[in-house]
């Protein structure tokens, strides 16, 4: 019998109370089941990784696409799933709230709301509006006492606004607006990470490690980070294998890359 959603949400909350854990990002049901098989205690969806599976660019999926995807992920595993819910698929706070309420019904244990506009010329929502969007998400989550954890994201570093003071000011405001977890993808140095952790304490911080890094689970834990996600990194690794083998066939008519494939027998065992 599948684990009840309430139990998954309680387990997710417990994970955030102490220590540091890796919350890897599957891109479909199969990768979600594989990560559960490997012993991870929670998962997080990836907007980019999912988008590529349906032949769309990142930030080009619809709220319908994402809610269907989240429903499938949550039903496939007995561990909590945190949703990359982009910017809530709306600008106005009341519309963000409507979409967040939909996401809660998919069975997720957590979800994030980011402050990026998608416009390179003006990449972040105005401060007051960004805070109101977090407040709206909080209200929607609490409407039925769901217990879903809300992550407030500041996207400044991803858009070239590498102003740590701005990031900290926003994350503190999102915390006050009701975010349970704080997250600024793009911060990478120990100094940046430590500064963010201290600024929002005692609330937990999510750190993105989306590429090769000298950071480890232990070194990040020592900085006070609570969880580590990897964004679209696992999806990109999967695409690496597909594209290398496909390009070899298309360009050379040879098949040597198949020697690097994961054994089919092992996959069949895992999905029994």
What's the mean pLDDT when you consider all of the chain?
97
Q: What is the mean pLDDT of residues 60-85?
A: 98
Cα within 13 Å of Cα(111), Cβ side = 32
Find the mean pLDDT for residues 181-200: 98
Whether residue 83 is predicted with pLDDT greater than 60 in this model: the reply is yes
The pLDDT score that the predictor gives to residue 1 is 56
Tell me what pLDDT residue 2 has.
74
Reference 80, options 34, 134, 36, 18; nearest CA is 36
Rounded to whole angstroms, the Cα distance separating 111 from 258 reads 37
Phi, psi of 194 (to 5 degrees): -60, -40
- Reported as a single tens digit per residue, the pLDDT across 226-258 is 999 999 999 999 999 999 999 999 999 999 999
Please, which residues bridge with residue 153 across strands? 114, 183
More confident residue, 126 or 2: 126
Show Cβ contacts of residue 222 under 8 Å, excluding neighbours closer than 6 positions.
none
DSSP code for 158: G
Contact 23, 229 (CB under 8 A): yes
Q: Say how far apart CA 101 and CA 93 lie, in whole Å.
A: 12
Confidence of residue 12 (pLDDT cuts 50, 70, 90): very high
Q: What pLDDT, on a 0 to 100 scale, did the predictor assign at position 258?
A: 98
Task: Give residue 90's Cα distance to chain centre.
Answer: 18
CA dihedral over 130, 131, 136, 139, signed as positive or negative: positive
Residues in contact with 30: Cβ distance below 8 Å, sequence separation at least 6, in sequence order: 271
d(CA 70, CA 89): 14
Report pLDDT digits (tens) over 101-158.
999 999 999 999 999 999 999 999 999 999 999 999 999 999 999 999 999 999 999 9
Mean pLDDT of 13-27: 98
The tokens describing 166, both together, are: 């701005």
Mean pLDDT of 75-101: 98
Q: How does pLDDT run across 84-93, given as a tens digit for each residue? A: 999 999 999 9
Provide mean pLDDT across the span 186-203.
Answer: 98
| Helix spans in the chain (H) | 5-15, 29-37, 47-53, 63-76, 93-104, 127-142, 164-176, 190-200, 217-222, 233-252, 264-270
Residue 93: half-sphere exposure toward Cβ, Cα within 13 Å: 16
Name the CA dihedral angle for 62, 66, 72, 76, rounded to a multiple of 10 degrees: 150
* Cα 79 versus chain centre, distance: 15
């Amino acid at each position: 019998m599948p684990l009840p959603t309430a139990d998954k949400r309680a387990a997710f909350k417990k994970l955030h109370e102490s220590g540091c854990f890796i919350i890897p990002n599957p891109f479909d049901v199969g990768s979600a089941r594989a990560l559960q098989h490997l012993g991870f205690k929670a998962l997080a969806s990836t907007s980019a990784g999912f988008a590529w599976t349906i032949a769309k660019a990142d930030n080009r999926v619809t709220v319908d696409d994402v809610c269907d995807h989240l429903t499938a992920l949550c039903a496939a595993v007995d561990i909590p799933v945190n949703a990359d819910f982009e910017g809530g698929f709306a600008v106005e706070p009341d519309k963000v709230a409507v979409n967040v309420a939909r996401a809660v019904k998919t069975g997720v244990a957590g979800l994030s709301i980011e402050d990026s506009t998608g416009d390179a010329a003006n990449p972040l929502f105005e401060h007051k509006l960004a805070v109101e969007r977090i407040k709206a998400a909080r209200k929607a989550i609490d409407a039925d006492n769901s217990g879903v954890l809300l992550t407030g994201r500041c996207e400044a570093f991803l858009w070239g606004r590498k102003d740590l003071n701005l990031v900290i000011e926003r994350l503190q405001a999102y915390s006050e607006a009701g975010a349970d977890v704080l997250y600024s993808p793009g911060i990478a140095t120990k100094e940046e990470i430590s500064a963010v952790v201290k600024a929002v304490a005692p609330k937990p911080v999510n750190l993105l490690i989306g590429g090769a890094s000298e950071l480890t689970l232990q070194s990040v834990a020592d900085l006070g980070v609570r969880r580590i996600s990897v964004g679209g990194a696992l999806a990109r690794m999967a695409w690496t294998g597909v594209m290398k083998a496909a390009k070899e066939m298309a360009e050379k008519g040879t098949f040597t890359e198949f020697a690097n494939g994961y054994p089919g027998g092992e996959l069949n065992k895992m999905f029994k």
